[in-house]
Structure 1
Amino acid sequence: MNNVLYLTSELFPLIKTGGLADVAGSLPPALTKLGQEMRILLPAYPEVMRWIKQPTLLASGSYYNQEVRLFETHLPESGVITWLVHCPAAFDRPGGPYIDGNGEPWHDNALRFAIFCLVAVDIALNRLNLNWQPDIVHGNDWQSGLVPALLQLHQSRPATLFTIHNLAYQGLFDYQTFLDLNLPARLWHPDGLEFYGQLSFIKGGLAFADRINTVSPTYAREILQPEFGYGLEGLLRHRRDRLSGILNGIDSKVWNPQNDKYLQAPYGIQNLQQKSINKTRLQQQLGLPVDAGVPLIGMISRLVEQKGLEIILQGMADLLAMPAQLIIVGTGDIHYELQLTEWASRHPEQLKVIIGYNEPLSHRLEAASDLFLMPSSFEPCGLNQIYSLRYGTLPVVRNVGGLADTVVDANTRTIKNGTANGFVIPTQTSADLLATLQRALELYLQTDTWQQLQITAMGSDYSWNASAEHYRALYHQAMADRDNTARQSGRFL
């Protein structure tokens, strides 16, 4: 059994902006079942504190002249012990975890997450007298990137694993910020936190963690190339012997069409015909023409370029000429929100756009849709295509990252051998997006074949069972690597 300190900047159901929250809310419980002693560390945002009743005060202190308290609570349903970094000056504010109400990054994000990282380091080194010390510190994305860098300065330390959920977000700040945070001068180096004259939080994890992983095997290979590496591909190639990919799982209790609490008509493989009831109910709810026979295309996404918004908008006129309905749910760049809303206002019987995020609606849309649109230019793992497969909603995706690892294109060969479960767009162009959708809509008319695709999609195991085992093995590898590094440097742990 290992003691694991799991660092995350969001955690479902307490606070969510994207897939990291879903992973953080489901992987630690899965690892607990495998005998790992988990502690989740999370900033105490206002949304989080509204969930919490009577948290226990564990410790308090001052970081960057700000009062910080560490509270203990439990993750709802799973009961995993969760520690909250309560610093009102850093985290008690309106807006999101990373951006303000105007969609701009908080001006003090470096300070906010440096506080979070320093608390994590103090826990890892047993400075807070919690009567618990981790064997492994598992960080996620740039918000926890300073932790491996700071820990490697200490002779006796836990092993570290750093998980990349999206390399495009790196936590970049100017040199003055490095000075203001009073970080060790030896870390300002091209082999350390310096990145072309800027402070890079994510480099702390990439350069210093004992092990690095991404959230799909394909993405682990892709980030070694300039197209996906965002300037860090050289460092990653240098450390490729420590890099691997583990495909995300999903919480198969939360995402289960047979007993989904948000569905008016639960269903499974045995009563797949019930799925169409969810379609007509949602059409009625959202004011679309009610027709069980019309193909419904769903999309739940951040509305940013990465998610394929450019090629969708370029082809929107042709897409809306197809015999289908389209429902898009999400929030993101304002110019995408405005363009989509304008298209919806002009085509109210074919397109519904809902700006914002709504968990019950997300479940209902997954169940109601026949196709799920996910034409990402890159996708480290993606969870919505996995939710869609689970719900018999066939994904339409690009052949990148975790999408390539989970979706098998429906063609003559794969349909015949029973592996097809979706549709793959060959290139990131509007023309190929439209051609792939047209191919899917034609196949939709072949009822028996379509149902077989749905059954194939729903028949795979998307739980954390296999992936959690891989993480447990990776923890052991990280500890062995730490010990080897210590022996080579003459340190004794």
Structure 2
Amino acid sequence: MTPIRVLAVASEIYPIVKTGGLADVAGALPAALKEHGVATRTLVPGYPDVLKALPAAETLLQWPEFYGGPIRVLGGTHDGLDLFALDAPHLFARPGNPYVGPDGRDWPDNGVRFAALSRMAAEIGQGTLPSFVPHVVHAHDWQAGLVPAYLHYGRQPRPGTVMTVHNLAYQGQFSPDMLATFGLPQDAYAIRGVEYYGTISLLKAGLQFADRITTVSPTYAREIQGDDGGMGLGGLLRERAGVLRGILNGIDLSVWNPETDPHIAARYGASHLATRAANKAALQRRFGLEPSGEALLLGVVSRLSWQKGLDLMLETIPTLLSEGMQLALLGSGDRDLQDRYSALVQAHPGRIGVVIGYDEALAHLIQAGADALAVPSRFEPCGLTQLCALRYGAVPVVSDVGGLADTVLDVDEVAMEGGAATGVKFAPVTAEALAHALRKANLLFNDDVTWRRLQHAGMTTDVSWNNRAGQYAALYRDLIAARQAAQ
């Protein structure tokens, strides 16, 4: 098998910097690709945490001026990841969240920051670092969206380009006055260029110029070609449907493994589920819930937002309480939703527990201790929490959209006698339908045999990167072959 060199470009990567699922994918996919003959190096911004994680990094490139200041490109490894870091203190030497300042607002120079990241990726793609000249540059989300544009307008030859959309709702829109700052030619500001309803859209740039487009589930790939799911880009995606493909995300089984997980109270597996009860007890203590093995404990690990349907979950609280269920929620986001969930703890002590924020260890305990995990998203490109839930025996209760539809087999879709059903899905995405799904889950929970069957089917489902990485490797090889044939 001919080795393939891929330069991945991402604005965050687990375990160094994480705000969402993008980091998990960027961190897990390279290792899985190694098994398929793909050598990946990932270019990331030189945030303080990134530089701290690369204490022995080698300086591979040094320029006195690059988008407003001096830069270095560092090469190093961390936790098995081969990394390039764009060390640009004037752009990335800022503490905290990668995208927003201490006031919670986007950094005003985000356009320049991620244009610089994309430009450096294009430079590496064109051979600026002779030690690693990639066959393919794989750009992730809007922060890397200008990579295919720079390569399109730059000198030839160039590598193949892949653009992956993790969430079409985030498009990276900036003033058209930034065109020269970004270093794009005037004719790039056009409908078949980077122009998007009077702005420059970095995501649109990637979708317009990439050789191949992927997104993170087959159903989401279909949804984003529609006028509603396309969020203003549906027409472009329909036009480019021939190069668009949905490939499901996976999870890193070395991180998400209930048999070895250091973050949970008791380790267990599909063949010895009885010890899982200790995690439920620990979770109830952590959230101040009444100790009870009989009450269905519903977990939520989510951003608190309209997209995630957490306002709908609020409307179902009377159902949850009347059914005798408990709720353990971990998340942050919309301030109003945070306040309303926090108020529920005071109104219903012992029944509802809420932790505002994000805690990786606590997320693991919720997966290990909750009986069911709710993901009521209005749209969901793939979703990772339901994959973790399957792995940990927390039966998913999910909306029938995007990657949730692709990864959970509903009890009404599959004959339970076959043992293949893994969760409960609901549609349409309304509070009424969610309440009905919660009642159904509670009914199933009270049937021990059926519930164990659901848990076992979920825990033995393949949620790893193994097959998914193979699809990416095949995509890269097809792209390289197509480009060679066209030359």
TM-score range, shorter chain: over 0.9
Cα distance 1:307–1:412, how it changes in 2: closer, same or farther (>3 A)?
A: closer
- Partners in 1 of 2:105 and 2:332 — Cα distance? 14
Cα distance 1:295–1:46, how it changes in 2: closer, same or farther (>3 A)?
A: same
Aligned residues of 1:210 and 1:482 also touching (Cα < 8 A): no
Aligned residues of 1:277 and 1:292 also touching (Cα < 8 A): no
Compute the displacement of 1:64 (Å). Answer: 1.7
- Partners in 2 of 1:168 and 1:285 — Cα distance? 34
Equivalent position of 1:402 in the other structure: 403
Question: Mapping of 1:363-382 within 5 angstroms?
Answer: 363-382=364-383
Task: Give per-residue Cα distances to partners, 1:277-324, cap 9 Å, x unaligned.
Answer: 101012123322122222110011111110001211223333333311
- Partners in 1 of 2:98 and 2:89 — Cα distance? 13
Aligned residues of 2:302 and 2:332 also touching (Cα < 8 A): yes
Aligned residues of 2:16 and 2:49 also touching (Cα < 8 A): yes
Aligned: 1:163 with 2:164: yes
- Partners in 2 of 1:332 and 1:137 — Cα distance? 32
- Partners in 1 of 2:89 and 2:323 — Cα distance? 51
Equivalent position of 2:135 in the other structure: 135
Identity value in percent: 42
Q: Specify the code of the residue in structure 1 equivalent to 2:281.
A: T
Q: Specify the code of the residue in structure 2 equivalent to 1:246.
A: I
- Partners in 1 of 2:330 and 2:374 — Cα distance? 11
Compute the displacement of 1:477 (Å). Answer: 2.1
For structure 2, the 5+ residue unaligned runs are none
Question: Mapping of 1:74-93 within 5 angstroms?
Answer: 74-76=77-79, 79-93=80-94
Compute the displacement of 1:417 (Å). Answer: 2.6
Q: Specify the code of the residue in structure 1 equivalent to 2:59.
A: L
Compute the displacement of 1:333 (Å). Answer: 1.5
Task: Give per-residue Cα distances to partners, 1:191-223, cap 9 Å, x unaligned.
Answer: 010001100000111111110011111111111
Equivalent position of 1:70 in the other structure: 73
Equivalent position of 2:48 in the other structure: 46
Q: Specify the code of the residue in structure 1 equivalent to 2:70.
A: E
Equivalent position of 2:348 in the other structure: 347
- Residue-pair matches, total: 483
Question: Mapping of 1:3-22 within 5 angstroms?
Answer: 3-22=5-24
Bigger drift between 312-321 and 101-110 goes to: 312-321
Question: Mapping of 1:20-419 within 5 angstroms?
Answer: 20-61=22-63, 62-76=65-79, 79-127=80-128, 129-153=129-153, 154-411=155-412, 413-419=414-420
2:282 is paired with a residue whose SS is: helix
Q: Specify the code of the residue in structure 2 equivalent to 1:20.
A: L
Compute the displacement of 1:152 (Å). Answer: 1.4
1:411 is paired with a residue whose SS is: coil
- Partners in 1 of 2:179 and 2:336 — Cα distance? 33
Equivalent position of 1:464 in the other structure: 465
1:270 is paired with a residue whose SS is: coil
Task: Give per-residue Cα distances to partners, 1:342-366, cap 9 Å, x unaligned.
Answer: 1222222111111111111111110
TM-score by length of 1: 0.95
TM-score by length of 2: 0.96
Q: Specify the code of the residue in structure 2 equivalent to 1:54.
A: A
Compute the displacement of 1:412 (Å). Answer: 8.2
1:229 is paired with a residue whose SS is: coil
- Partners in 1 of 2:121 and 2:414 — Cα distance? 51
- Partners in 1 of 2:482 and 2:461 — Cα distance? 34
Cα distance 1:70–1:413, how it changes in 2: closer, same or farther (>3 A)?
A: closer
Bigger drift between 291-300 and 387-396 goes to: 291-300
Aligned residues of 1:7 and 1:144 also touching (Cα < 8 A): yes
Q: Specify the code of the residue in structure 1 equivalent to 2:331.
A: G
Compute the displacement of 1:482 (Å). Answer: 3.3
Q: CA RMSD in A?
A: 1.4
Aligned residues of 2:54 and 2:78 also touching (Cα < 8 A): no
- Partners in 2 of 1:480 and 1:119 — Cα distance? 25
Q: Specify the code of the residue in structure 2 equivalent to 1:149.
A: A
2:191 is paired with a residue whose SS is: coil
Aligned residues of 1:210 and 1:481 also touching (Cα < 8 A): no
- Partners in 2 of 1:246 and 1:191 — Cα distance? 26
Aligned: 1:443 with 2:444: yes
Aligned residues of 1:410 and 1:421 also touching (Cα < 8 A): yes
- Partners in 2 of 1:353 and 1:49 — Cα distance? 34
For structure 1, the 5+ residue unaligned runs are none
Q: Specify the code of the residue in structure 1 equivalent to 2:399.
A: R
Q: Specify the code of the residue in structure 2 equivalent to 1:52.
A: L
- Partners in 1 of 2:43 and 2:275 — Cα distance? 41
Compute the displacement of 1:121 (Å). Answer: 1.0
Task: Give per-residue Cα distances to partners, 1:97-150, cap 9 Å, x unaligned.
Answer: 1122232211111011011111111111112x4422000000100000001011
- Partners in 2 of 1:403 and 1:279 — Cα distance? 24
Compute the displacement of 1:413 (Å). Answer: 5.0
1:63 is paired with a residue whose SS is: coil
Aligned residues of 2:162 and 2:212 also touching (Cα < 8 A): yes
Q: Specify the code of the residue in structure 1 equivalent to 2:341.
A: L
Aligned residues of 2:327 and 2:353 also touching (Cα < 8 A): yes
Q: Specify the code of the residue in structure 1 equivalent to 2:73.
A: L
- Partners in 1 of 2:66 and 2:414 — Cα distance? 60
- Partners in 2 of 1:69 and 1:413 — Cα distance? 55
- Partners in 2 of 1:112 and 1:481 — Cα distance? 33
- Partners in 1 of 2:49 and 2:349 — Cα distance? 34
- Partners in 2 of 1:14 and 1:471 — Cα distance? 24
- Partners in 2 of 1:81 and 1:421 — Cα distance? 36
